[in-house]
Amino acid sequence: MALLIGELADSLKLGDETVFVENDGGRLQQSAAERPQRVSWLVLAGCEAFDNYPPRADGKMMTAAARIPGGVAAMAHGLAFRPARRIPGTGYAVMAHKPVAHDVTDRWTEPLRKDPAARRVLVRCLRAARPSEMREAAEGPRAHDRPGLVVWGRRGRMMPPEHGRRPAELLPQGRLVELDDCRTLIPLDRPEGLAAAIRDFAARTSLEGPLRDPLTRDRLLTPQQLARVNAQLRGTRRQPRSPGPRRRGGVKTCVRARFRVSSGSWGCRPLC
């Protein structure tokens, strides 16, 4: 999976970007080790780590079900009964500090209940899971010599707090933010805390050192370009432009920041 992520980034001709991975940090950790040029600013939040793969009893139960014909289908159809999703000590009840809205978990479980192709993909993924892969991926942060952030919930049970502290210690430039009243589903439990941590991390990282051009990686952004990126990261207004384009060595320079928000990623990059 890590190699596929790298190949996709290559095919899209993406430059350096802050990459945010929720609940599947093993792939990002592995990418940091095997394709370091593809991971710039690293953000991990509430994800599998070390020997916690598949995570806790629920993950191991799903892996066991995948080895039984019809096992995943039976589990998926069992989740159609809404109260079953909130049984204390299991599933979503363990992952979230506050009950997850039923309409949200309906959307999460519907593909597995109604689409046999989705179940087949999950079965193949679960059967291919190897705990040794996660242990090897855990060495990725040790080799990541660029800024890194780890955001974790203090009340995490499926992804325990100590599994957030250890990656932060392994990252040479790692920072750790632990959120109160929060478990594994950080974007649902503490969305504002997660957003603030990422925003602060991006702003501080920009101020602490020059950004390299994400396309060539060998040309540093000018202080003026960096200031404009920082202003956008903080959500402040841009300074009025001076008349005419600014030229250096006969070449017009410009910068813009792009923000990409999706279910599993967040990023910004300056483009010249």
What mean pLDDT do residues 68-97 have? 91
More confident residue, 228 or 69: 69
Given a cut of 50, whether residue 217 has pLDDT beyond it is no
Q: List, for residues 94-151, the tens digit of each pLDDT value.
A: 999 989 999 999 999 999 999 999 999 999 989 988 878 777 777 778 878 888 899 9
More confident residue, 32 or 169: 169
Residue 259: per-residue pLDDT? 33
Residue 34: per-residue pLDDT? 74
Any idea what DSSP says for residue 3? H
Q: List, for residues 139-198, the tens digit of each pLDDT value.
A: 778 878 888 899 999 999 888 999 889 889 988 899 999 999 999 999 999 999 999 999
Residue 226, token pair as written in the block = 């960096």
In sign, the C-alpha dihedral spanning 93, 97, 98, 100 is: negative
Task: With H, G, I as helix, E, B as strand and everything else as coil, classify residue 217.
Answer: coil
Question: Taking the mean position of all CA atoms in its chain, how far away is CA 212?
Answer: 22
Question: Taking the mean position of all CA atoms in its chain, how far away is CA 177?
Answer: 14
Residue 101, token pair as written in the block = 């809205």
> Structural domains in the chain?
2-52+133-271 (3.40.50.1820), 56-128 (no CATH)
Residue 153: per-residue pLDDT? 94
Given a cut of 80, whether residue 45 has pLDDT beyond it is yes
Other CB atoms within 10 A of residue 146 CB? 16
* Cα 234 to Cα 257: distance, rounded to the nearest angstrom: 12
* Cα 207 to Cα 210: distance, rounded to the nearest angstrom: 7
Residue 1: per-residue pLDDT? 72
Strands (E), 59-192: 147-153, 173-179
pLDDT band at 227 (very low <50, low <70, confident <90, very high): low
C-beta separation of 177 from 190 below 8 A: no
pTM for this prediction: 0.71
Residue 256: per-residue pLDDT? 34
